[in-house]
Amino acid sequence: MATKWINRLEIVLSLGLVLGCLGALAALGATVMIAFFGTATGIGVPLHVHDVPVPVLPVPGAEIVSAAAEVTVRPVGASPAAALFYLLQWAPPTATGLLALFTVVRALRRARSGDRALFSATTAGHLRRLGWILIAGSLVSAVSGTVAQAILSGMLLMTGQMFDPPPGGTLVALVAGLCALGVSEIVRRGVVLLDEVEATI
């Protein structure tokens, strides 16, 4: 029963990996269009805008402190510089997600062999690799995304925007990476103890 569950999970995650790769290719195609050919309708650079006027009034006793929105800016004509910073904006988090998903799929594929294959030094290595991918990838994504967002705002908007804080997903990825490292160490030590017990029998 457990093997069937692992097989189904592997199929779902493998499908997600394929769809993620197709999405990355689509984003890469949009980046190439921005760099060399200009952009078609519906293709542009997403940017955060702060202090947006809103056509609503608060109820008595309340006030609107700030309002933000996300706009899609379409450069007119080819813009290699905008394409470069747009690439820095989406590529690191996308690569981090795809690498993490690929690592999980590899671990599940090995787990189909049985419980002993799942509880092994190889699994501990997959978990350790997953942890470092999430930690390093989230940090690089946060820095590159924040810098690219600020530079693109200065290039494509009349009023440059402030540096945005990293999205909440960055903290989630960091915590998940640390958890993966912790679980990998638990599995590694458990494998060592299991090998010692099997050697004494």
Q: Is 42 exposed, middle or buried (0-12, 13-18, 19+ CB in 10 A)?
A: exposed
Alpha carbon distance 176, 170 (integer Å): 10
Q: What crossing angle do the helices spanning 80-111 and 2-32 adopt, rounded to 10°?
A: 170
- Tens digits of residue pLDDT in 71-123: 778 777 788 888 888 899 899 999 999 999 999 998 888 777 666 666 777 88
The whole-model pTM stands at 0.79
- Tens digits of residue pLDDT in 8-49: 888 899 999 999 999 999 989 888 888 887 766 667 787 777
Alpha carbon distance 57, 62 (integer Å): 9
Alpha carbon distance 7, 13 (integer Å): 10
57-72 burial by CB neighbour count: b if 16+ within 10 A, else e? eeeeeeeeeeeeeeee
Higher pLDDT, 168 or 177: 177
Higher pLDDT, 68 or 172: 172
Q: Judge whether residue 161 has pLDDT over 70.
A: no
Nearest Cα residue to 45 out of 2, 79, 11: 79
Task: Please state, for a pLDDT cut of 90, what percent of the chain lies above it.
Answer: 26
Average pLDDT, the chain: 82
